[in-house]
Structure 1
Amino acid sequence: MIDVVSPVIRSRMMSGIRGKNTKPEVRVRRYLHGQGFRYSLHRRDLPGRPDLVLPKYRAVVFVHGCFWHAHAHCRYATIPSTRREFWTAKLTANRLRDESVVSQLTMQGWRVVVVWECALRRTPDGSLADLSEFLWSDRKYEEIAWNQDSRIA
């Protein structure tokens, strides 16, 4: 299938997709700050440059977009119908990199929580309460997501 826009327009559209300060990320930051949690952003000295780092709790938070991080069994993580081979390879590589980053961080003693975009779309208040519950707990890893049947925790 041929793209419906020119390569110049497609390039401009793709360059507008942000990796930092996305709406879901800002929502998580506002909630945590309002709850009294203090954090730093995108620390370059940690693998994967976590979206939020909470040194006091020895925890990092990643806010993942379901499409870009290939969230399994999620309605927002569909593979585009054009250039399927390219997108499959790219999204699979993103997923493998995410797994490697989580492994590196846990080996360094960090606790990791991944907040999926779908959780913030479907049940923002409940998902964010689950996030602060994780920070107060001693769990090492958690994913906060929305499954059509139930929340994955």
Structure 2
Amino acid sequence: MDRITPAQRSANMARVRGKDTGPEMVVRRLVHRMGYRYRLHRKNLPGKPDLVLPRHKLVIFVHGCFWHRHAGCSRSTMPQTRADFWEAKFAATVERDRAQIAALKIAGWRVQVIWECDLRDLGRLEKSIRHAVEGMPDALRYSPAEAGA
């Protein structure tokens, strides 16, 4: 049973942002402090990546663990009400993410997905970003298995 009314739930969900989220702002500040320059939400790229580093042919997505279903993460919980609705919604999100990443790779872009929970260790995240910019493999890079493949 839901503890809040449908109107309260609707108001909460209306406040969920798609751009300029807290985690995205942390990543932006970190990338800028590292000396890399980027563009935001380029509409001409699949998925409108959160950060685009054109000089390095790298795009960065900052994914919320809940919304994008970070496999094995404690933040990737399932709502208790309307389970069928949420399962379909999450499955569509994961599939859309995969399709966008595949399209970016086909277009010659390198893709890094940063999960919300990765922000707990900014030193490790900085290393991961540096490796992605330099084209080195790294443990925090996206893999389809992470998205619940």
TM over 0.5: yes
Q: Verify the 8 A CA contact 1:64 1:115 in the aligned structure 2.
A: yes
* Aligned partner of residue 37 in structure 2, secondary structure: coil
**Alignment partner, residue 115 of structure 1:** 114
Distance 2:70 2:5 in 1: 29
**Alignment partner, residue 123 of structure 2:** 125
Structure 2: give runs of 5+ residues left out of the alignment.
Answer: none
* Aligned partner of residue 36 in structure 1, secondary structure: coil
* Aligned partner of residue 74 in structure 1, secondary structure: coil
Greater strand fraction, Structure 1 or Structure 2: 1
Q: Verify the 8 A CA contact 2:128 2:141 in the aligned structure 1.
A: no
**Alignment partner, residue 7 of structure 1:** 6
* CA RMSD, 1 decimal: 1.8
- Greater relative contact order structure (CA < 8 Å, 6+ sep): 2
Give the count of matched residue pairs. Answer: 142
Q: Verify the 8 A CA contact 1:28 1:128 in the aligned structure 2.
A: no
> TM-score, with normalisation over the residues of structure 1?
0.87
Greater helix fraction, Structure 1 or Structure 2: 2
Structure 1: give runs of 5+ residues left out of the alignment.
Answer: 148-153
* Aligned partner of residue 142 in structure 1, secondary structure: coil
Deviation at 1:138, TM superposition (A): 5.4
Deviation at 1:125, TM superposition (A): 2.0
Distance 1:4 1:118 in 2: 26
Identity of aligned residues (%): 46
Q: Verify the 8 A CA contact 1:80 1:87 in the aligned structure 2.
A: yes
Deviation at 1:5, TM superposition (A): 2.3
> TM-score, with normalisation over the residues of structure 2?
0.89
Residue by residue over 1:79-114, the C-alpha shift from the partner in whole angstroms, topping out at 9 and shown as x without a partner, is 111111111110111000000000000000000000
State the one-letter code of the partner of 2:13: M
Distance 1:30 1:100 in 2: 28
